[in-house]
Amino acid sequence: MNIVVLVKSALDEGELRADSEGHPILVGAATKTSNFDMNGVEEAVKAKESNGGTVTVLSLGGQDAKKAIKEAMAMGGTKGTHIVTGPEDAPDSLATAFCLASVIKRIPELDVIFCSEGSSDTYQGQVGAMVAEFLGVPFLAYAKNIRLQAGKVTCEQNFDGRVVVSEARLPAVVSVVSEANVPRYPTLLQVMVAGRKPIEDIAFGSLQVPEYPRTGTKILGIYAQPSDRKKTMLEGSPTEASRKLVDALRSEGLI
Partner 1 sequence: LKSFSALHESVLVSQYGQEAETGAALLRGVDLLLQEKVAPFSLALDRGGSTIDGPRRALFEHGLCRMPYPAELGGAGAKFGVFAMAMELVGSADASTAMSIGIHNTVAEAVARFGTPEQRERLLPGLLAGEKLAAFALTEPSSGSDARSMHTRATKGADGYVIEGSKMFITNAGEADVYLVFAATSGGHGAFLVESSNSGLKVGGELGKLGMRGSHTAEVRLVDCHVSAGSLLGKEGAGFEYAKQLLDSSRIVMGMICVGIARAAYDRAIAYSKARELFGKRLSDLDLTKEKIADASIGINAARLLCMQAARLKEAGKPYSSEAAQGKVFASETAVRVCDWAIQLFGGYGYTDEDIHRHWRDARLLTIGEGASEVLRLLIASRELEREG
Q: Is 10 in the site for partner 1 (CB under 8 A)?
A: no
Distances (CA, A) of 50 to 44, 47, 125, 157, 240: 10, 5, 28, 22, 64
User: Counting Cβ atoms within 10 Å, is residue 172 exposed (0-12), middle (13-18) or buried (19+)?
Assistant: buried
In angstroms, give the least distance from the CB of 110 to partner 1.
28
Q: Is 79 in the site for partner 1 (CB under 8 A)?
A: no
146 contacts 155 by C-beta, under 8 angstroms: yes
Q: How far apart are CA 115 and CA 186, in angstroms?
A: 19
In angstroms, give the least distance from the CB of 31 to partner 1.
10
Q: Is 194 in the site for partner 1 (CB under 8 A)?
A: yes
Q: How far apart are CA 77 and CA 70, in angstroms?
A: 9
Give the number of residues in contact with partner 1, rule: CB under 8 A.
19
Q: Based on CB atoms, which residue is closest to partner 1, 188 or 220?
A: 188
Q: Is 82 in the site for partner 1 (CB under 8 A)?
A: no
- Can you tell me which of 71, 111, 117, 121 binds partner 1, judged by CB under 8 A? 71
State how far Cα 246 lies from the chain centre: 43
End-to-end CA distance of the chain: 54
Q: Is 185 in the site for partner 1 (CB under 8 A)?
A: yes
- Can you tell me which of 62, 67, 157, 199 binds partner 1, judged by CB under 8 A? 67
Binding site for partner 1 (CB under 8 A): 14-15, 30, 32, 66-67, 70-71, 74, 185-189, 191-192, 194-196
